[in-house]
Homo-oligomer: A and B are copies of this chain.
Amino acid sequence: MLKPSPVTPDKVKRHNLARVLRYLHEDGELSRSDLVFLTGLNRSTIGALVSDLAEAGLVEEVSGVGGSRGRPSLVVRTNSSRNFVLAFDLGVDRIVAAAVGLGGEVLATIHRPRKDGPYPVKEAIAAILESTDELFTSLPTGATWAGVGIAIPGVVETELGFIRKAPNLGWIDVPFGQMITESFRKQIGVCPKVVLGNDANFGAVAEYVRGAATAASSVVYLTGDVGVGGGVVLGGEVLTGSSGFAGELGHLVVNPAGQPCNCGSRGCWETEVGRDAILSAAGFLPGPDSFPDFLAASIADPAAMKLALAGVGGWVGVGLVNLMNSIDPHYIVLGGHLAEIYPYINEVVIKRIDQSRPNAHTRARISLPSLSLDSPLAGAAEAAFAPLLSDPLHEMDQAFVLI
């Protein structure tokens, strides 16, 4: 039996620093009075905490707009450009990289297309290192590098930084967290904490923290890439499941009479609403340029595309019904290609949901992503910030400064 170590004044202070910094990171600039209100701490404690965070370079106090009694009021805000993380999203046909500042400001992004198909691990690491060099050149000297987050289209053991499988990259059992840490150390001498996660889980977190589902306690995020992935956040926590295989929503069986899936089953959601199914329904052959071509054709003749995609819309609807009947989330956010086709299928989808859930108040709200970054990339940045947000001063002591 282990007892928790006693609560010391130092622990309380660290806890309160973390709370203040998280409010500023998630809510944007706040006055000291706002912070008193939000934390329930008294004014002098807030003053001391803000001073400590400012001294560490994490926040700054500036004149805000619209102070009371005609005076400009001071607001506290994160020192966005001086504290950043790097976020990466390893997609099937591209790597997207971003430098994101504390507070969520996107400081720089890089978009590198690549050919569909298996992706040698070494190439992925090289692409991450090159992107890092490129991102660094656009960041100011003296900025503090607080972490790295990487979104993976597969099953990831986040605590170990271990990728169990990422079929669309062709990866099985890759200790990618360790490999990328060693590569950073070899190449540039240092590496802050690297956090890996499933792309849809990261997407769900991003939508929960600063996206469409900010006001909700439960959200399902669906990625649509080649396949369909899912991330589930319940009460602020990612649902990982007993074996790490929760949210494998692309393999919900929606059409038992449907096409074989490469998972070994048949009629999985991603065989019915994945990219190839959409192209085929719309009369396009699979190919690297087919999806952009299909989107262009949809814009040119939306009515025809609605007709062509009615079947796909029905399968999207069945899957959404099943999520409502099992998890009953507040929001379901459709990401990736599902967001792109939603304008052409929304009527069919809503009709299918009506059939199973006639009462509107029992339905999840269907949303499209509303972030300036792709949700998985934004979630990778949130994951990278998590250690700093949990113990700001300790992590700043360990962070690296650009010279």
Q: Is the CB of B243 within 8 A of A218?
A: no
Residues of B within 8 A of A318 (CB): 253, 256
Q: Is the CB of A37 within 8 A of B1?
A: yes
Taking A242-B328, A244-B362, A251-B321 as known contacts, 11 extra A-B pairs with beta carbons closer than 8 A to each other, sorted by chain A number, are A234-B239, A240-B328, A245-B362, A248-B325, A248-B326, A251-B356, A253-B321, A264-B358, A322-B322, A326-B326, A326-B327
Q: Is the CB of B264 within 8 A of A328?
A: no
Interface string of A110-129 (1 = CB under 8 A from B): 00000000000000000000
Partner of A265, one of B245, B329, B356: B356
Distance, CA A247 to CA B325, complexed state (A) = 6
Q: Is the CB of A252 within 8 A of B363?
A: no
Contact sample, A vs B, 11 pairs, CB 8 Å cutoff = A218-B241, A239-B327, A247-B326, A249-B326, A253-B254, A253-B325, A265-B356, A322-B322, A322-B326, A323-B326, A326-B327
Residues of B within 8 A of A323 (CB): 326
Interface residues of A (CB under 8 A from B): 1, 3, 37-38, 40, 216-218, 230, 232, 234, 239-249, 251-257, 263-266, 318, 321-330, 355-358, 361-364
Residues of B within 8 A of A1 (CB): 37-38, 40
Nearest chain B residue, comparing its CB with the CB of A353: B265
Distance, CA A255 to CA B230, complexed state (A) = 22
Nearest chain B residue, comparing its CB with the CB of A364: B242
Nearest chain B residue, comparing its CB with the CB of A255: B256
Residues of B within 8 A of A246 (CB): 326-328
Distance, CA A242 to CA B330, complexed state (A) = 5
Distance, CA A230 to CA B232, complexed state (A) = 19
Q: Is the CB of B3 within 8 A of A253?
A: no
The smallest beta-carbon distance between A237 and chain B, in angstroms, is 8
Q: Is the CB of B256 within 8 A of A328?
A: no
Partner of A362, one of B243, B256, B266: B243
Q: Is the CB of A355 within 8 A of B242?
A: no
Residues of B within 8 A of A249 (CB): 325-326
Q: Is the CB of B265 within 8 A of A242?
A: no
Residues of B within 8 A of A361 (CB): 243
Q: Is the CB of B252 within 8 A of A322?
A: yes
Q: Is the CB of B255 within 8 A of A242?
A: no
Residues of B within 8 A of A355 (CB): 264-266
Among A37, A218, A327, A363, the most chain B Cβ lie within 10 Å of the Cβ of A327
The smallest beta-carbon distance between A54 and chain B, in angstroms, is 24
Nearest chain B residue, comparing its CB with the CB of A318: B253
Distance, CA A244 to CA B326, complexed state (A) = 11
Residues of B within 8 A of A327 (CB): 239, 241, 246, 326-327
Distance, CA A265 to CA B263, complexed state (A) = 28
Residues of B within 8 A of A326 (CB): 230, 232, 246-249, 252, 322-323, 326-327
Residues of B within 8 A of A362 (CB): 243-245
The smallest beta-carbon distance between A38 and chain B, in angstroms, is 8
Residues of B within 8 A of A251 (CB): 321, 325, 356
